[in-house]
Amino acid sequence: MADATTFAAPVASAPPQPEGATGVLVLANGDVIWGRGFGAEGEAVGEVCFHTAMTGYQEIMTDPSFAGQMITFTFPHIGNVGANPDDVEADATHALGMIVREYPTAPSSFRAMENLDGWMRRHARIGLAGIDTRALTRRIRTGGAPNGVIAHSATGTFDLALLLDMARSWPGLEGMDLAKTVSTETHYGWQGGLWRLGFGYADDEQGDRPHVVALDYGSKRNIFRNLVQAGAKVSVLPATASFDQVMALKPDGIFLSNGPGDPAATGEYAVPVIRQLLDTKLPLFGICLGHQLLGLAVGATTTKMFQGHRGANHPVQRRSDGAVEITSMNHGFSVERDSLPAGVTETHVSLFDGSNAGLEIDGGRAFSVQYHPEASPGPQDSFYLFERFVTSLKDAT
């Protein structure tokens, strides 16, 4: 099928469905974008965003931070290395679906265990191909991340009016607590280090290691692998864990994970616990949603971003020495710099738009960054943060 991208508003005046179109994206403003479906059949409603990474589509699709969102990949050739059981960041696929330029080809990687179409079907996720992803990305950049419905029907049968109603009825991510929906439900001890070609994932080294208790707001596995690589032992608790439950594990330090949704909504139950943890003077490290929650805990405010930051090529400047890190980002909310109280220092800033990308309090005993230092996918410029955190645990014990 030729490129079937069509923008029109409202649905009542949408152009005829192109021949061979088995997928469609309907936006809340009435825009209709035809394409070729793959993966699971059905429909899903959420926020439409874009991601600029050239690799790591499995890691991106399984990142819990993408709950409630469908991803427009700006790189055209998604799926060309297939799928395998190693390159995932969680037990489930959390992104609602993917929107791509080219229909996924047969995999060309010795690591592939199945093609992307089969992997998407097995995980009940919808794909839409044949889309002018540049045009859709420009639309998001100028108009903001819209609500929409992605749908796939092998017969090409769609009720556009119903899909439009779904898109318009969805409340949006602002005010939505999604951390509870993606968090672990039970306490567990993490096992496993970083992956190496020919060796797989490393086993934990035994011995006397500082103990990190991680609050799981939607964590990625490679975060915990990096903590292990840096020399820590990791226990994981649900997002709703109480202060007493955390302290019962006798932590040497606290980790606040990434996650989806509005930090202000998650903060209703998370912030009081974080404030109690700060009072213990234990070292604390947060990333992404954990960064935003730490900001809220010290009195700052967060806001919904116009289009968000999602990609593996985001430059961030470190305030202390001016060094620039190329980082992996995935967030739609940010900590407002002007709301940071006295005693809280901004440590990093985005060079794309000047938004806050890091903070620290108490001389660095507690610190956080807006980006993903574990990458996966992305550059490894920021691995040092895990080493800094674990070193602080060793110094404190």
Of the candidates 94, 288, 314, 360, the residue annotated as catalytic is: 288
Between helix 263-279 and helix 289-297 the angle, nearest 10°, is 60
372 is catalytic: yes
374 is catalytic: yes
* Of 347, 293, 295, 296, nearest in space to 325 by CA: 347
Contacts of 198 (CB under 8 A, 6+ apart): none
User: What is the total residue count of the chain?
Assistant: 397
* Of 221, 281, 294, 220, nearest in space to 253 by CA: 281
* Of 180, 175, 176, 174, nearest in space to 215 by CA: 180
Find out whether 88 and 58 touch, Cβ atoms under 8 Å: yes
Strands (E), 109-250: 126-129, 147-152, 188-189, 195-196, 200-201, 211-216, 233-238
Of the candidates 47, 59, 360, 374, the residue annotated as catalytic is: 374
Backbone angles phi, psi at 364, to 5 degrees: 100, 0
H or E stretch covering 356 = strand 356-361
DSSP 85-110: SSS-SSSS--S-EEE-SSPP-----T
* Of 156, 143, 66, 150, nearest in space to 100 by CA: 150
152 is catalytic: no
| Two structure tokens written together for 225 | 């692998």
* Of 248, 244, 300, 254, nearest in space to 281 by CA: 254
Of the candidates 291, 309, 331, 372, the residue annotated as catalytic is: 372
Q: How far apart are CA 352 and CA 128, in angstroms?
A: 29
Residues with a catalytic annotation lie at 288, 372, 374
